[in-house]
Structure 1
Amino acid sequence: MSFIIKTESEIKKMRKSGKLTAEVLEMIEKYLQPNISTEEINQICHDYIVYEKKAISACLGYHGFPKSICISINDVVCHGIPNKGQMLKEGDIVNIDVSIIKNNYHGDASKMFCIGKTSILSKRLCAVAQESLYRSLKLIKPGIKLYKIGEIIQNYVEGNNFSVVKEYCGHGIGRNFHEEPHVLHYKNKENNIILKKGMIFTVEPMINAGNAQVRCMKDGWTIKTKDRSLSAQYEHTILVTEYGCDILTWQKNETISEKLINNN
């Protein structure tokens, strides 16, 4: 496995793609209310990406995926397919995963949204998922081994009595949607690539309220928790800098800085 170190001009394009990805997630929030269909949410995001931002959805047609974004509700872990018959309901937790291409370079991010009044468990699961991502990002800098990202996520999540999905992981990203290497969200010392300035990859932990096992639905895409427990995920595209990392998909309501300086 090897990372592609990005050039300055590539980094500039990736910053643009990341910003556009973040803007889609910022834009869609006001529409997320009970009784909107996931198909309508998909259409709003598609039109915004294509007509407002003059970009391309990376999801649409990727290995045959039929929609422009992924929408994963409650016990859906990832890759939920928007459809006309699926409506958001009061109390749902929803992950929206957006990947775009601008000037041939990709951005990729996802976040959780609470629909109306949600349960204490739902709120806590989302908070732990986000905090596990934030803790891992604060660790990143040149010289650390890649497995440390997964180690800090797993320790924090399991310390809160939740579980980490192991079948899906973060990935290098650039001209290609998925590049090497795999960024695992659990500790695996074989994942010992040393981080270097100019690497760009996603970190995207998927956290289950019950056990970590998942199952794939008949559509070949939708992944659900095997025990039907709730699942939550947050994802950012990040750039390793000389001082730590920059969050290329940072959004305005984040409780973490866009530029992280790691002096450890």
Structure 2
Amino acid sequence: MKIFLKTEDEIELMRQANQLVGKTLGELAKHIKPGVTTLQLDRVADEFIRDHGAIPTFKGFPNPYGGPFPASICTSVNEVVVHGVPDEETVLKDGDIISIDCGTLLNGFNGDSCYTFCVGEVSDEVKKLLRVTKESLYKGIENAVAGKHIGDIGSAVQDYCEAEGYGVVRELTGHGIGREMHEDPQVPNYGRRGNGVMLKANMCIAIEPMITMGKRDIYLKPDRWSICTRDGKPAAHFEHTICVRKGKAEILSSFEEVESLEGIIY
């Protein structure tokens, strides 16, 4: 396992890449409404990222099960947990939720963040899933401080979500991030306090709870990318890239652009 501690200059470059992801998600929020296809959203993101001098890192990302990822963002609707592929056939409708995972490469460093959006009027039951998942992300971040362990992050997410009766996906995790999109260590959304890699100042990691309304069991769709809940119930996904610090983690990505447009936080 190779864990790279970042210099302050590198952390600043990572902040810039991650702030661009936040701005991209904010731009996408303006377009999310019934009748829009996920491919239309992908085109918006691709143009926005490139116009700001960055590269969408998801495009061409290798797949151990098949060909490279064909799009610039992942668009995961309702029961799709992660890695949904934008296409012309998937048309957003009133009551849907869509998680958009976005990555940028800017000045040699990666940004990575995800937000789950409501489409039109969404049921209170689904809104609660989104609220709890987002809150669990911040519970995890509270534990991402020097001297604690990876297991402290996962335990915080798991305990919070399972107490609400939700499922915590095991097969997919957060990750280290820097010059590469995925670096060591893995950051599971479950675990035991005091277990796993000890966190050190200037480690940069992406924390990303993937939480299901029903059971945590998942399967891979025939497109070899989209991962769905087996019971067909919706799932939510929120992600921040953070820098481990002493006392309190520093969040490098941003939901501010999205939340200012929504006007509310679930």
Same-fold status (TM-score > 0.5): yes
What is the 5 A alignment of 1:66-215? Answer: 66-188=70-192, 191-215=195-219
Alignment TM-score, normalising by the size of structure 2: 0.92
CA deviation digits over 1:190-227, x for unaligned, max 9?
A: 95211111000000010001100000011110000011
Gaps of 5+ in 1: 256-264
Secondary structure at the residue paired with 2:30? helix
Q: Is the 8 Å Cα contact of residues 49 and 104 (structure 2) preserved in structure 1?
A: yes
Q: Secondary structure at the match of 1:166?
A: coil
List, as ranges, runs of 4+ consecutive aligned residues in structure 1 with deviation greater than 2 Å.
188-191
2:29 partner SS:
helix
* SS of equivalent to 2:256: coil
Distance 1:136 1:189, change over 3 A: closer
- Percent identical among aligned pairs is 36
**Structure 1 counterpart of 2:59:** 60
Q: What is the distance in 2 between the residues matched to 1:229 and 1:31?
A: 25
- Which stretch has the larger CA shift, 181-190 or 165-174? 181-190
Q: Tell me the secondary structure at the aligned position of residue 15 of structure 2.
A: helix
**Distance (whole Å) between structure 1 residues aligned to residue 43 and residue 18 of structure 2:** 20
1:253 Cα deviation (Å)? 5.6
Corresponding residue for residue 32 of structure 2: 32
Q: Secondary structure in 2 aligned to 1:31?
A: coil
Q: Quote how far apart the aligned CAs of 1:139 are.
A: 2.2
TM-score, normalization by structure 1? 0.93
Contact persistence 2:59–2:73 (CA under 8 A): yes
CA contact (8 A) 2:155 2:193 kept: no
Tell me which residue corresponds to 2:65: none
Tell me, in whole angstroms, the C-alpha distance in 2 between the residues paired with 1:222 and 1:190.
33
- Corresponding residue pairs, total: 254
Q: Where does the alignment leave 5 or more consecutive residues of structure 2 unmatched? A: 63-67, 260-266
Contact 2:240/2:253 (8 A) holds in 1: yes
> C-alpha distance in 2, partners of 1:226/1:188?
26
